[in-house]
Chains A and B, each alone.
Chain A
């Protein structure tokens, strides 16, 4: 039995070593979820990677999809729940920004069957452009929120989320962070429930929030969130552990650090562990803080719990010393560690803090950013564009592996906001009389590049759109997308290609294989000649080097003069300098042959024929 099979079918009481995200996937299966949707994004990606397998092979859940973006994913899952099927949508924290519009309305509309919205936040920006605190969304939308602390809780609390959701007929936000999603721990499996679909009865007076309906539903929502507060008071998810006249209030991953910190400092403390963090249990908190000598609030990112507790103390006239982020005892940015929490507690208790151990040596370690993989077609694409266009061009980048072009040797990333922003940014830049190029990946193009391209045509923006089409959502782990002809459940479907939109919009476009430098340079030059007012689009199409078999490798012959044009123009990790010449590390070489085309001295040759490569290109475009 492999791990996926165990996650899909493992019985009650079985113990598995699960990643937080795999535990969440199991939790969804145990809760009898029927519809699950997502757009891949780390730290949430492995939930989808797991469900893609469990749904296609074991029918659990019955339906799963990689949607084109988070807003679409949200609407599909939310409406399936309204239609009576237990549903779930999950995404990374910034994905919820994309889905924020339907999120706000779903609070008014409510749900019929259980509906859970999982957001995976990324304190410390391990793989994100910001570390926004998505707990604010629960406050903003007025939706109940749960936060697990470890893999076991991540699985178990999914069930609670659905029970609360169905009780209140409201979506429930389930918030995890990178350290919960990406920690492996022992998980004891529970029972897999089957859920009967609920009946859907048409009710436009509830489900269609025109102003007259919305005003009424706002009152319903306020009533529901008051009921949610009662649940928050009663539930064992919010519980007191330990004893002592120092009170510590914490939630999520911070709970773990708090527990270890208390043991490390060796103090007696009473812990209020909050598993349901919106709405907060006002009475429980009041009773907890009123007889304490001091209360310390431990939470990553924003002082949200702290603000609420200060407000509860003030309104209830509880005079107790409350410490947290407003005293600068805990940092506002980055993720916590036990040491950081030890330091914060000691400051709050006026204890002497440890002198930071000096780490003298780390600066000698060479900087090692993530880099393009050997044979990555993006290296060739950037090289081609750099060869044709002026270095003064503004390079608008987007979210994907290709953002790595910010590094040497390309240094071709000048501005970036979020998914799909490259075309918008290029449009703005072009207004300041800059020549602007938007680099956008295939999956990102379908995610949110489309309306941007339409705007570029409609408003006649003079930009060049470069679609880097590697036939997959590479960065998050090779999930399928509309260009791949395959669904999240592995079924065949229509292949949708970026150039179809250029054709439909009537703008000049070219499709080229970046592994052929000369032809691609010609194609780009041809396009720039044809380009009039308004946008033009070029697709560089080559499948990701990681999902393509290696059929030949390249070697460097004795014509090498040591000019290092290959290394300096591509930076391919398979190319190295040795004794004044370039060499190719054959175990890394993927046989793309791009370096052989860059070499001015014909010093790079293949040790097999290139026919197979050509076939490969065709296979991918079929």
Chain B
């Protein structure tokens, strides 16, 4: 029985909710059971956002501390909010994009450095993969596609769900700009596969 937990963190407006739905849809296309917990309401744009995707015979949509198999962090500092879900086997995919919080751009709070963030994650798990999803999405002129670049990276990093099913899920869920989204997905996927090969 396939069973795994994915924690997604990011900033409101980055497409965290859609990303969670795409993963869930992919799992459903495999005939798996799935529960997705989403954070909605209030004016969430620019605020911290978290979603859980649980695949397999699960009852609750919530993921307990230390129980994530994957963490997809769409923003550098926000990845720190997922620390509680990490264990030594958790695979973290980290978008190094920075979105400054209001206190940071008003100058009343400091944004943590990349090495600081990575060290914090590495004190839990060594399985961290970083990529500049925003930069990659920009490269194809589709800055909104960073979340789908991350989906591509996730597809490459795991071996439970098939790549074609991710593409099929995108076809089912995405009404607008499917072509660009597929391009962003492939970019994230290929970049990750390339890096995996380089690392041997």
Contact = CB atoms under 8 A, between A and B. Distances in A.
A and B form one complex:
yes
Interface in B77-113: 77-78, 80-81, 83-84, 100-112
A45 interface: yes
Contacts of A401: 43
A15 B36 CA distance: 16
B25 interface: yes
A372 B105 CA distance: 14
Contacts of A15: 28
A277 to B, nearest CB: 19
Contacts of A42: 40-42
A185 B46 contact: no
B35 A184 contact: yes
Contact of A368 (B11, B110, B116): B11
Interface string B46-81: 111000000000111110111000000000011011
Best-buried of B24, B103, B107 by chain A (most CB within 10 Å): B103
A42 B42 CA distance: 8
A592 to B, nearest CB: 15
Contacts of A587: 143
B175 interface: yes
A408 B59 contact: no
A185 B100 CA distance: 33
Contacts of A366: 77, 101, 103-104, 109-112
A568 B59 contact: no
B45 interface: yes
What is the size category of the interface that chain B forms with chain A?
Answer: 35 or more
B41 to A, nearest CB: 3
A339 B111 CA distance: 31
Interface in B1-57: 11-12, 20-21, 24-25, 28, 33-48
Contacts of B48: 368
A182 B39 contact: yes
A126 B41 contact: yes
Contacts, number: 163
Interface in A142-179: 150, 179
Contact of A369 (B33, B47, B105, B112): B47
B162 interface: no
A432 interface: no
A360 B25 CA distance: 35
Contacts of A179: 37, 60-62
Given A337-B64, A339-B64, A368 B36 contact: no
Contact of B80 (A17, A43, A362, A409): A362
Contacts of B103: 366-367, 408
Interface string A357-391: 10111101111111111000000000000000000
Interface stretch (A109-117, A253-261, A460-468, A514-522): A253-261
B178 interface: no
Contact of B105 (A126, A338, A361, A567): A567
B112 A367 contact: no
A404 interface: yes
**In terms of DSSP, what is the predominant structure of the interface of chain B?**
loop
Contact of B59 (A259, A371, A372): A259
Interface stretch (A285-293, A481-489, A532-540, A573-581): A573-581
Given A17-B21, A17-B34, A476 B58 contact: no
A364 B111 CA distance: 9
B46 A183 contact: no
Contacts of A127: 40-42
Contact of A126 (B42, B64, B77, B108): B42
A339 B63 CA distance: 9
Best-buried of B25, B84, B143 by chain A (most CB within 10 Å): B84
A398 interface: no
A365 B81 contact: yes
Given A365-B80, A408-B103, A371 B46 contact: yes
A367 B143 CA distance: 25
Contacts of B21: 17, 184
A364 B120 contact: yes
B42 A367 contact: no
A370 B106 contact: no
B93 to A, nearest CB: 18
B45 to A, nearest CB: 5
16 contacts: A183-B35, A184-B36, A185-B61, A256-B59, A338-B60, A360-B123, A365-B77, A366-B104, A366-B109, A371-B47, A371-B102, A475-B41, A567-B106, A568-B106, A571-B102, A576-B105
Interface of A: 2, 15, 17, 19, 42-43, 45-46, 126-127, 150, 179, 182-186, 253, 255-257, 259-260, 337-339, 357, 359-362, 364-373, 401, 404, 407-409, 474-476, 567-568, 571, 573, 575-577, 587
Interface of B: 11-12, 20-21, 24-25, 28, 33-48, 58-62, 64-66, 77-78, 80-81, 83-84, 100-112, 116, 120, 123, 143, 175
